[in-house]
Amino acid sequence: MTRRLLLVSNSTLHGGGYLEHCQQEIQDFFGKQVTRILFVPYALHDRDAYAKTAREKLQSLGYEVDSIHEASDPVEAVKKAQGIFIGGGNTFRLLKTLYDHDLVSEIQKRVLQDGVPYMGSSAGTNVSTFSINTTNDMPIVYPPTLKAIGLVPFNINPHYLDHNPQSKHMGETREQRIQQYHEEPDTPSVLGLREGSMLLVEGDKATLLGSTKARLFSRGKPPTEYEPGSDLSFLLAEGK
């Protein structure tokens, strides 16, 4: 089966509503063959409210939504899912809860072996990658490992922010923090997804979608910029 991923930087773009900026891509991605989507709200504390928000939006696009936190058996819910959407929030809380419920390997199997389409936004994008080492979030809880679901062999930094030369803030820029990560040995590439951008993966093909450029960081190399529409399939061959 072919892996299919829609990895979105952010769920809300300035000036629009929840998932509004990517709703066409969502419909193109899930299509008509998916009628029900399994939503994973573990990244936020109020799961009921989060599920309500996701349910209302996805229903408006023609999809029924089951929230995994309402299931008596979360693993069984993943086994039956036609499509999976993991929303944003705190990446550490999200990954810890996925491990707590033995869902990491099950989601990986459903997506990579069974071809179940996977959509992530923000933290949901982070956990789909090699590891969560390059998340922007605070470690408010401790997952057993920073290793994530591994649907792609590289990392993503959602909400990537460029340095503002007008700013008086003297802390590290996002670029400097990613470069610090690459000072460690054997660290994979990091794709900085600015708000408004997303990565579509279909099998061994990866395409940058959305309205903003992405910035790619690879260990020992200068950063490079990619326009929407760029073919980033070479990232999928990392580590092979």
Catalytic residue numbers?
Answer: 122, 137, 159
Say how far residue 42 (Cα) sits from the centre of its chain. Answer: 14
HEC secondary structure over 120-144: EECHHHHCCCCECCCCCCCCCCCCC
Task: Say how far apart CA 231 and CA 107 lie, in whole Å.
Answer: 26
CA distance 91 to 56: 23
Q: What number of CA atoms fall less than 13 Å from residue 166's CA on the CB side?
A: 0
Burial of 49 (0-12, 13-18, 19+ CB in 10 A): exposed
DSSP 29: H
Q: Show Cβ contacts of residue 218 under 8 Å, excluding neighbours closer than 6 positions.
A: 182, 189, 190
Question: How far from 189 is each of 87, 163, 224, 231, CA to CA, in Å?
Answer: 23, 20, 11, 15
Supply angle C-alpha 178, 180, 183, rounded to 5: 115
- Of 85, 160, 161, which is closest to residue 124 (Cα–Cα)? 85
